[in-house]
Structure 1
Amino acid sequence: MKRMTRMTSRAGRRKIVFLLHNAYAIGGTVRTTLNLASALAERHDVEIVSMSRHRAEPRFAVDPRITLVPLVDTREGSADLADPAYAREAVDFPVADKRHHQYTRLTDLRARAYLESCDADVVIGTRPGINVYIALGPRRALRIAQEHLRHDAHAKRLRTVLARHYRDLDAVVTMTGADAEVYRTRMPLPGVRVVSVPNIVPEVGVAPSDGTAKVIAAAGRLVPGKRYDVLLEAFCAVAAKDPDWELRIYGGGAEKERLQGLIDGLGLAGQARLMGVRTPIEAEFAQASLVVSASDAESFGMTLVEAMRCGVPVVSTDCPLGPAEIITDRVDGRLVPVRDTRALADAMLDLVLDDDLRRSMGAAARASAHRYDPEPIVDHYERLFAELRAARPGRAWSRQRERARGWARRTVRAARRRLRAWGGGRRPELTGARTRTARET
C-alpha cells in the first residue's frame, strides 16, 4: 500500500538519480550532467550522487532544485579518511577503468549501500566504472549507462569488462549516432537499448558575436589529442596574410610549456596566446569571430556547439565522432581532414578574408544550435524512460534467451575441446580397435 501511494502521488513524475565521479570538480561530464539534470528538474525529482567530494562547494553552479549527495569526503580532516575501508583498494570498481586509483573499498561500499536503499525510478551512470556499480546494483530502477567517451577510446581490457556488465543494464546512451552504431556492432548487448542522445547546450547569457573582432578562439584541455600544434602551424598562414588577427587558446593542461615553446619558435608571440582556463567559456567565444578545433577525436564536441550558440562559425577536423553530426560543412561551419595543416589553414583563411561569409555562417550556426535546446532532449529522455519501462519484460526474456544460447555454445565448445584432447575427435577405444584390426590384416 505504501508503494502504491508513492506511485499515485507522483503520477507523471519520476525520481531520477545521476551518479558522477566528482560533482565538485571542473570537467565536461560534470557540466553536461548538470545541464541535463537541471532541465529534467523542471518535470522530475532529480538527485546527483558524487562518488567523492574534495571541496566545500561545487565549481559549477548547481540548480537549487537538485539534491546533491556526496558519498566519500576526501577533504583534509574528514572522518572518511580514517575509515579502514578508505585505505583498501576498490573491488567493485573495475581495475581497467583509468580512474581506479581514485576509488577505494569505501567508495564501493557507499555506492552499494546507496543503490540498495534509494527509491529512484531511473539511475544513470556517467562513466564506465560507475556504470558497473549500477549493473551490480538492484534491478528496481531503470539502469542506464551514459557513455561520454567513444567506444574506441576505451582500452580493450575495459571494453571486455563492460561487455560483461552492460548486459545487465536497460540502456546504453551515447553522445552521437555514430558511436551508438559502433556499440551495436562491436559490443552486442541482448535486451539492452543502445541509443544516442546529444548533450544539452543551453542558451548563452551573452550577446552573440558580431563577427568583426579579428580573433580566432580555441578551447579545451592542453593535451596531445587536441592537436594545438597543428592549429598553431595552420595559424601561421593567417598571421602571414593578416597580422592583425589573433589566436586565443583557452584551457589548462600538461602541454602548456611545450605549446608556449612552439608559439615562440613559430614567431607567433603576441599573435597566439595561451589564455588559461575560463568558465564559462561562452563570454570568450562571443568576443571571437571564428572558433577552431584541430582534435584527433571528439566523443561529442561541446565547445563546437557553445561557439555556435554565440553566433560564431566553427572550423573543425572531421574527426570521430562528433563534429560531423554538429557541423553542416559550408553552411554553419567547415569540416577538414584530421592533421591536415594546409586544409585547416585554407578553411580558416576563407572565413578570415570574407566578412560576409563569416557573418552568414555565424547566423546559420546560431540557428543550428537550437537542436541542443533542453526541451527536445528532455523529451527524448522521457520517451526513452517510458519505452524502457514498457518493454522491460521482453528485454528480460531476450537476455535469458541469449544467456541460454551462450551456455549452449560454451558447452559445445567445451565438448569439442575434450574430444580433441582424446585424439583428434575420435573415441580412444575405437582408435585402439582400428589399430588392432590393421595389425591383424
Structure 2
Amino acid sequence: MKIVFLLHNAYAIGGTVRTTLNLAAALAERHDVEIVSMMRHRARPRFTVDPRVTLVPLVDTRERSPDRELPGFGAPAADFPVEDKRHGQYSRLVDVRVREYLAGPGRGADVVIGTRPGINVYLALFGPRRALRIAQEHLRHDAHGKALRRVLARHYRRLDAVVTTTRADAAVYRARMPLPGVRVLCVPNIVPAPSVAPSDHTAPVIAAAGRLARGKRFDLLLEAFATVAVKEPDWRLRIYGGGAQRERLEAMIGELGLAGRAVLMGPHSPIEPEFAKASVVVSASDAESFGMTLVEAMRCGVPVVSTDCPLGPAEIVHDGVDGRLVPVGDAAALANALLDVIKDGPGRRAMGRAALESARRFDPGPVVARYELLFAELAATRGRRACRRLQGRLLPAVRRRVRRARRRLRRRP
C-alpha cells in the first residue's frame, strides 16, 4: 500500500512534524510511505527522516532557489484558505505544485493524509478520487476560528475520515461539525521509546518544554515555582523551548528573585535526554490538543504534573498514579502538587515506574494497527458512505423545498 502524507514543512521543528515522521517511519515497516513537504527552507530536515520514507519537497524557499524567480512564488495562494493562519506562508506556486503532484505522482497513492486544516482543504479539492483521503487534526476543534470552521465543514464533507488526537476532540467534531459519510475518530500520536535510560529521580530538577507562547503559561509556572523555591531551596526549574515570550519570561525570573534557580534553556531536540535528567516534568498550559511533552516525559520514567486543560492531559495522565492533574490557571494548586511530588520520594519513584508502563500505549505497534484497521474499514464501506454523503447533500435541499411549498400553501386563500 502506498501512503502519502501532506506536511506543511518537513524541514522545520514542530510537534506535527515530529509526530508525522514517527507515524511515517512506523508505517514504512510494511508500506510504501512518502512525505510531501509543501515547502523547504533548508538543505536538510532538523529531525531524522527514516531512510525508508521518501521525502518530496514541493517549493524551495531558500535564498538562491530557482523557485523564487517564478511568477507564482510571490503571488498569494488562492486555493489554500485565507482563514488558516498559515495563509501568509503559502503562495500560488504552492497551490499549483500541490495540484500537479496529486494529479501526477500522487495519483498512485492508496491513502493520502493531510496534517493541517489548509492542507486538508487541498486534499479535499485535489486529492485523487481512488485514494482514501484522511484529514488529521493536530489542533483542537475550538482552537480554529469560526470562519475557518465553516470552511472546514464545507470541505471535510468530501473526505473519508477526520482523525483527532483525543477522544474528547473527536466527540466535539461529531457534535459540532456533522459530516455525513465521513468517519470521525481518535488515534493518538506515536511516541517511540527513547534511547536514553529512565530518570533515577535523584536530581532536584523540574523540567518543562514547549513554545514560549502565552497559551503555554510559563508565567504561571514561574509563579508556582516561586512558591516551591522558598520551601525547597535545592530544586531548580529548567524550561526548554524558544518563542516570542522569552524576554518577558526572563524579566519575570528576575522580578521573582529566581535568577539561577529558573533557567530558560532554549530549544533542545530530542528533548528526552533532558527530561531523563529531571525528577518531575510540568505543564501549565491553558489548552493542549494532545500533550506530546507529557508522553515524552513519561517515556523517560518521569512523573508529570499538568493542568487539567482541554483536551489531552486527562487522556494521558492518571491522576495520582503516574502524575498529577490540577485546575487550569491556578498557580497555588500547581505549586502544591509540585511540592507533594517533591517531598514524597518513594511516591515519586512509584509514579515514575507507573508512567513508564502507562506510556506503552503510545508504542508504534498499537497506533499503526489502528490506522491499518481504519484503512480497511474505509475501503470496505466506501460505497455505503458515498450514499450517506449524497443523502447529506440532498436532504437539506429537499427540506428547504418542502418548507417553501408549505409557506406558499399557507399564503393561499
For normalisation by structure 2, the TM-score amounts to 0.97
Shift of 1:410: 3.4
Deviations 1:23-74 (A, max 9, x none): 0101000000000000000010000000001111111110000000001111
Task: Find the counterpart in structure 1 of residue 189 from structure 2.
Answer: 199
State how 1:85-234 maps to structure 2 within 5 Å.
85-117=72-104, 118=106, 119-137=108-126, 138-234=128-224
Query: AA paired with 2:84?
Result: D
Task: Find the counterpart in structure 2 of residue 279 from structure 1.
Answer: 269
Query: AA paired with 1:345?
Result: A
Query: AA paired with 1:390?
Result: A
SS of equivalent to 2:157: helix
Task: Find the counterpart in structure 1 of residue 411 from structure 2.
Answer: 426
Deviations 1:327-364 (A, max 9, x none): 00000000000001111111000011111011000010
Query: AA paired with 1:121?
Result: D
Report the count of equivalent residues: 410
Identity rate, percent:
72
Task: Find the counterpart in structure 1 of residue 366 from structure 2.
Answer: 376
Query: AA paired with 2:297?
Result: A
Task: Find the counterpart in structure 1 of residue 47 from structure 2.
Answer: 60
Residue 19 of structure 2 corresponds to residue 29 of structure 1:
no
Deviations 1:117-161 (A, max 9, x none): 220000000000000111112311000000000000000000000
Residue 244 of structure 2 corresponds to residue 254 of structure 1:
yes
Q: How many angstroms apart in 2 are the aligned matches of 1:260 and 1:192?
A: 47
* RMSD across aligned positions (CA): 1.2
Residue 253 of structure 2 corresponds to residue 263 of structure 1:
yes
Bigger Cα Rg: 1
Task: Find the counterpart in structure 1 of residue 27 from structure 2.
Answer: 40
SS of equivalent to 2:411: coil
Shift of 1:91: 1.2
1:75 to 62, 69, 75: 62
Deviations 1:373-395 (A, max 9, x none): 00000000000000000000000
Deviations 1:301-321 (A, max 9, x none): 000000000000000000000
Moved over 2 A (4+): 409-417
Name stretches of at least 5 consecutive residues in structure 1 with no aligned partner.
1-13, 431-441
Q: How many angstroms apart in 2 are the aligned matches of 1:184 and 1:286?
A: 38
Task: Find the counterpart in structure 2 of residue 17 from structure 1.
Answer: 4
Residue 314 of structure 2 corresponds to residue 310 of structure 1:
no
Q: How many angstroms apart in 1 are the aligned matches of 2:262 and 2:296?
A: 21
Task: Find the counterpart in structure 2 of residue 8 from structure 1.
Answer: none
Q: How many angstroms apart in 1 are the aligned matches of 2:305 and 2:39?
A: 37
Shift of 1:409: 2.6
SS of equivalent to 1:189: coil
Q: How many angstroms apart in 1 are the aligned matches of 2:178 and 2:215?
A: 29
Shift of 1:426: 2.6
Q: 1:223 to 1:414 in 2, by over 3 A?
A: farther
Q: How many angstroms apart in 2 are the aligned matches of 1:92 and 1:310?
A: 43
Shift of 1:77: 1.7
Shift of 1:238: 1.2
Query: AA paired with 2:76?
Result: E
1:367 to 337, 357, 381: 357
